[in-house]
Amino acid sequence: MGRSGGKKGKGKLKTSASKLSNKRINKLAKQGKLKRDKSKQIKEKKELEGRRGNEKQFRPKKDLAQEDEIEVEEEDIQFFKSHQQRSSFVSNVDNRLLEQPSDGHKKGKKRKVLDDVEGEAEYERLPRKQVATDNNRKMMLPIKTKHGVVQRVLEDEDEPVANGDGGSDEASGSEMADAAEEREEPLPILSGVELYAQRQRKLQECKQRIALLSSAIIENPNESTKKLRELVGMLKETDPDVFVTVRKFTMMSLLEVFNDIIPGYYVRLPTEKEQTQKMKKETKEILGHEVALVRFYRDYLEFLDRTAKGNKKEASGKKKIKKNKHGSDEAPIPAATQQKLKQLSVQCLCSLLQKHPHFNYTNNIIAVIVPFMNSNNEQISDTACNCVRQLFKTDKSGHVILEITKCVGRMIKARDYRIQPKVLNTFLSLRIKEVSYTDPVTKEEEKKKQNSEKLSRRERKLKKKEMFIARDLEETRATEDKRKRLKLHTETIQTVFLTYFRILKKATHSVLFPSVLEGLAKFAHMINVDFFEDLFAVFNKLIATEELSYRESLHCVQTAFTILSGQGSALNIDPVVFYKHLYKTLYHVHAGCSSDDVKIVLDCLDIMISRRKRQVSQQRILAFLKRLMTLSLQQTTHGTLGLLSVIRSFIITYSYCDVLMDNEAQGSGVYMPELDDPEHCNAHNAMLWELALLRHHYDPSVRRFCTHLRNGAPTSGEGQLPVELRKLPTQILNEYQRLDIFNQFVPEKPKGPHKHKGRQGDYLQQDVAEQVLKVLSATEDFVDVT
């Protein structure tokens, strides 16, 4: 029985779970599933140990089993008592079995058991994820926090490794988790060169990505919606190393992309009802592309708006901490960099408005750009003002300029007229020539209504059909309707005058007052007749106070006579006060800082004297002629030629100006140049002695003009002017202002082998000295004669 039982037991050991487990492991290894079933393998090994324990209990020879059970129990007690010994329980069992003597009859069976135990002990000795570097450290079960998986290491020998159930201690686990959260892994220390190389590498990758996306979008805009979304998304770059530069590159790239792919028409977004309707596949694709384009365009404009306006909370000191996609704080932008981003954003907005004023969100862009016209940053302010001037010159429809003038007017009123003058000077760039204060559309409707009353019913129907056909044809035309454009221009001028009149009424001492007078002088012929009397009352009051500068006085005079020469010619207004004021103000214009105001003087003389020939007295003409001749001595070359051209027109138009060429006095009185009244200064007894000085002027054109005036300004024959000087005063002023007249009479360099460097400068100084001596000698001769 014992023998058969031994065989039976021996057969059980051969065909038991160990062999099946090995077969299963080999099968899984061939299938490549060994790693996935590693936990199952460990579980099977544990089951195998349990079965071996049961088999030992049912062996026929029970003495050995009893002895083994007693020894194992004693070792268990010794292991848990010896807390300082850091070795596994399986290794103790392994050593005990190796040291135990055995009979030859039992040697084969115990050898197989020992092989299995050695494999398990060797597996238990393997570390899980981290090798303990110290004998006093033991790896514990990891815990998972919001920062990731944290490996725990037990360093203190007195702390328990695990509780009775095999789980970790909750108190120690929580402390270790808190310590892991507080502890951060230090970043690797890089040198400056390495940091620079790393940043350049990132920038190069971003540049290549932006270039690829931009070229793909421009190549095929209809099928590049996803790429456009990705390119717009790069505006939100948060990498602290390159996010500012990447945003700049993306802003400029998107500007070029939108300038290229934006259509030449306004995109009307579909309503909810239209979206639910059935449509063709091609129509649906086109509609989807247009809607996506408008959406991404809006996102781009919103980013530019936020960047241009900056963070108001940062400016007020309440800085809001932002988190990027990595969870770390976003790096703050320096003030200088923030200013450059603002400039770039305003530049992009201005470019979009200039090139695509017809597209969506035009009014929103205008509302953003107009406040920057008054910015403290000179570069941003100049960019916005130049954009507005360009739009005033190029806009043909009239919608954009009307919206800009309304926004500027609202801004001036909201800021209580504390605006830079260059903002208001942009109105001078308006190119509006015609306005109509009577609506032409209503006039035509009234005419049609009167004509329709005389028609029969059949003729009315035909007329109505023709009207619909004409309306459809007008919609298909590429040009703007003249009636609508005239109406828009009229509204624009009314808005401009409303802003001007507000400043005249409430902010007379504002810095905007000279700009207002200059604007009124330019657009005075478009002012409604209803405002004429009020304007003249304001001008008389301003002139009486004598608080205006010479430039403001010139603009007042110019505006008043512009009104009187146009629609105000029917008004019964005496302009004598304005003649006196101009006569008094002329001496303030000289070759210094006021040399550019000569053009205003010429315009005033043209309106006040040349166009009102029969309404100006003889004494007034002679007084202005004498004062202009004196004024020509203290002007630059182009200013002198302009004034001499006006004097020539006076001499040709009024024959009685010959008395100023005579040295004899006529009538009573003596010329009083210090008197500011041109009617009572006795100008008929004056003499144009200034021609003797101008004969020695350094410019040959001035000398030729003086010779012509001394001969009585003949139109033909000897002494007549050359063709290039027979022009209007303003034309001569503009042409000679662009030329460098001072270098026209410089002698040539001496020819031959003996020329020296710097010779031309010596000749120039000598010639100028000779001209100055001639002028001084002529003045001395004149003083001696008088």
Domain identity same for 88 and 198: no
Q: Is the pLDDT of residue 352 over 60?
A: yes
Phi, psi of 143 (to 5 degrees): -125, 155
pLDDT confidence of residue 93: 39
Over residues 393-400, mean pLDDT: 88
Span 352-376, mean pLDDT? 92
Residue 484, domain member (yes or no): no
Is residue 173's pLDDT more than 80? no
Cβ 561 vs Cβ 549: under 8 Å: no
For the purposes of burial, counting CB atoms within 10 Å of the CB of 177, is it exposed (0-12), middle (13-18) or buried (19 or more)? Answer: middle
Report the range out of 10-19, 134-143, 543-552 with the highest average pLDDT: 543-552
Range 329-356 average pLDDT: 85
Are residues 624 and 710 located together in one domain of the fold? yes
For residue 51, tell me if it sits in a domain.
yes
643 versus 37: the higher-pLDDT residue is 643
Work out the average pLDDT over 182-190: 66
- Predicted confidence at residue 78, as pLDDT, reads 52
* Residues 6+ positions from 199 with CB-CB distance below 8 Å: 241, 242
Asked whether the predicted pLDDT for residue 393 surpasses 80, the reply is: yes
- Residues 696 and 585 reside in one and the same domain: yes
Residue 343 located in a structural domain: yes
* AA letter at 378: E
Residues 234-266 pLDDT 10s: 898 888 888 888 999 999 999 999 999 999 888
Q: Is residue 365 part of a domain?
A: no
> What residues pair up with 149 in beta bridges, in sequence order?
144
Examine residue 395 and state whether it is found in any structural domain, yes or no.
no
Shared domain check, 785 and 699: no
Q: Is the pLDDT of residue 370 over 90?
A: yes
The β-bridge partners of 143 are: 150
Higher pLDDT, 315 or 185: 185
If asked whether residues 112 and 141 sit together in one domain, one would say no
What are the structure tokens assigned to 68, written together? 């083994």
What angle is formed at CA 437 by the lines to CA 436 and CA 440, rounded to 5 degrees? 60
Burial class (CB in 10 A: 0-12, 13-18, 19+), 121: middle
What pLDDT, in 10s, does the model give residues 504-553? 888 878 888 888 888 888 888 888 877 787 888 888 888 777 777 888 88
Amino acid at 267: V
Contacts 24+ apart (CB under 8 A), 674-683: 676/580, 676/583, 676/584, 677/580, 677/583, 678/579, 678/580, 678/583, 678/619, 678/620, 678/623, 678/624, 678/627, 679/617, 679/619, 679/620, 679/623, 680/619, 681/623, 683/619, 683/622, 683/623, 683/625, 683/626
- The reported pLDDT for the residue numbered 136 is 64
For range 662-685, the mean pLDDT: 83
pLDDT computed for residue 166 by the predictor: 43
Q: Residue 333 above 50 pLDDT? A: yes
Find, among 541, 543, 529, 626, the residue nearest to 580 by Cα. Answer: 543
pLDDT tens by residue, 435-494 = 876 655 555 566 666 666 667 778 878 888 888 887 777 666 655 667 788 888 889 999
**Number of domain units in the chain:** 5
Structure confidence at residue 758 (pLDDT): 41
Does residue 207 register a pLDDT over 80?
yes
pLDDT(573) > 60: yes
pLDDT at 739 > cutoff 60: yes
Summarize the confidence of residues 17-43 as an average pLDDT.
69
pLDDT of residue 467: 80
Mean pLDDT of the chain: 75
Banded model confidence at residue 223, pLDDT cuts 50, 70, 90: confident
Cβ-contact 700, 744 below 8 angstroms: yes
Residue 566 main-chain phi, psi, to 5 deg = -105, -120
The full DSSP string for 694-748 is HTT-SSHHHHHHHHHHHTT--SSSTTPPPGGG-S-HHHHHHHHHHS-GGGTTPPP
C-alpha distances in angstroms, 473 versus 233, 467, 621? 43, 10, 58
More confidently predicted of 757 and 155: 155
Q: What is the pLDDT of residue 361?
A: 92
Mean pLDDT of 40-47: 64
How confident is the model at residue 54, as a pLDDT?
54
Residue pointed to by tokens 């140990």: 49
pLDDT of 372 = 94
The whole-angstrom separation of Cα 643 and Cα 628 is 7
Q: What is the pTM of this model?
A: 0.62
User: Tokens 């020992």 belong to which residue?
Assistant: 114
Residue 494 lies in a domain: no
| Residue 701 clears pLDDT 60, i.e. is over it | yes
Q: Any residues with CB less than 8 A from the CB of 490 and at least 6 apart, and which? A: 435, 436, 437
For residue 60, the model assigns a pLDDT of 47
Q: How far apart are CA 621 and CA 669, in angstroms?
A: 17
307 touches 342 (CB < 8 A): yes
Residues contacting residue 763 through CB under 8 Å, at least 6 positions apart: 746, 747
Question: Is the model more confident about 492 or about 148?
Answer: 492
Task: Provide mean pLDDT across the span 356-376.
Answer: 92
pLDDT at 160: 42
With a cut of 70, say whether residue 638 has pLDDT above it. Answer: yes
Cα distance between residue 63 and residue 674, in whole Å: 149
Residue 277: pLDDT band with limits 50, 70, 90: confident
Q: 298 versus 781: which is more confidently predicted? A: 298
Find residue 150's DSSP bridge partners: 143
Q: What is the pLDDT of residue 327?
A: 44
Q: Which helix (H) or strand (E) holds 750?
A: none
Q: Is the pLDDT higher at 154 or at 366?
A: 366
Residue 141's pLDDT is 84
Give the distance from CA 689 to its chain's centroid: 60
Q: Which residues contact 52 (CB under 8 A, 6 or more apart)?
A: 113, 116
Residues β-bridged to residue 145: 148
pLDDT of residue 346: 93
Do 710 and 590 fall within a single domain? Answer: yes
pLDDT at residue 315 tops 70:
no
Give the pLDDT confidence score for residue 592 in this predicted structure.
80
User: Above pLDDT 70, what percent of the chain?
Assistant: 67
pLDDT, tens digit (0-9, with 9 covering 90-100), for 585-624: 888 888 887 788 888 888 888 888 888 888 888 899 999 9
CA 95/CA 739 separation, integer angstroms: 112
Same domain, 19 and 67: yes
At position 181, the amino acid (one-letter code) is: E
* Backbone angles phi and psi of 601, in degrees to 5: -65, -45
Give the pLDDT confidence score for residue 71 in this predicted structure: 43
Q: What are phi and psi of 465, to 5 degrees?
A: -65, -40
Asked whether residue 19 carries a pLDDT value surpassing 90, the answer given is no
CA angle (243, 244, 248) in 5-degree steps: 115
Q: Cα-flanking dihedrals φ and ψ of residue 131, to 5°?
A: -85, 130
Q: Give pLDDT, residue 297.
A: 93
Residue 292: name the closest of 232, 209, 218 by CA: 232
pLDDT for 777 equals: 54
Asked whether residue 70 carries a pLDDT value surpassing 50, the answer given is: no
- Asked whether residue 89 carries a pLDDT value surpassing 50, the answer given is no
- Can you give the pLDDT at residue 273? 85
Whole-angstrom distance, CA of residue 537 vs CA of residue 218: 61
Nearest to 94 by CA among 70, 117, 69: 117
Same domain, 232 and 350: yes
Residue 595: closest CA among 733, 717, 785 = 733
Q: Which of 682, 561, 701, 708 is nearest to 626 (CA)?
A: 682
Mean pLDDT value across residues 696-716: 87
Residue 66 has pLDDT above 70, yes or no: no
Least confident of 217-221, 366-370, 563-567: 563-567
Residue 623 sits in the same domain as residue 771: no
Q: Is residue 535 part of a domain?
A: no
| Domain membership of residue 770 as a residue range | 746-786
The more confident residue out of 504 and 565 is: 504
* pLDDT tier at 107, thresholds 50, 70, 90: very low
Beta carbons of 622 and 655 less than 8 angstroms apart: no
Lowest mean pLDDT among 636-645, 647-656, 694-703, 742-751: 742-751
- 42 is a domain residue: yes
Helices (H) and strands (E) in the chain, counts: 32, 4
Other beta carbons within 10 Å of 573:
16
**Element (H or E) spanning 150, and its range?**
strand 148-150
The gap between the terminal CA atoms of the chain, to the nearest Å, is 168
- Do 265 and 251 share a structural domain? yes
For residue 753, what pLDDT is reported? 44
Question: What pLDDT shows up at residue 77?
Answer: 52
Percent of the chain with pLDDT over 90: 19
Q: Are residues 623 and 586 in the same domain?
A: yes
3-class DSSP state for residue 148? strand
Q: Rg (Cα) of the chain, in Å, rounded? A: 50
Count, residues in the chain: 786
Q: What is the dihedral of CA 375, 380, 385, 390, to 10 degrees?
A: -160
| Residues 690, 786 within the same domain | no
Tell me the pairing of strands 143-145 and 148-150.
antiparallel
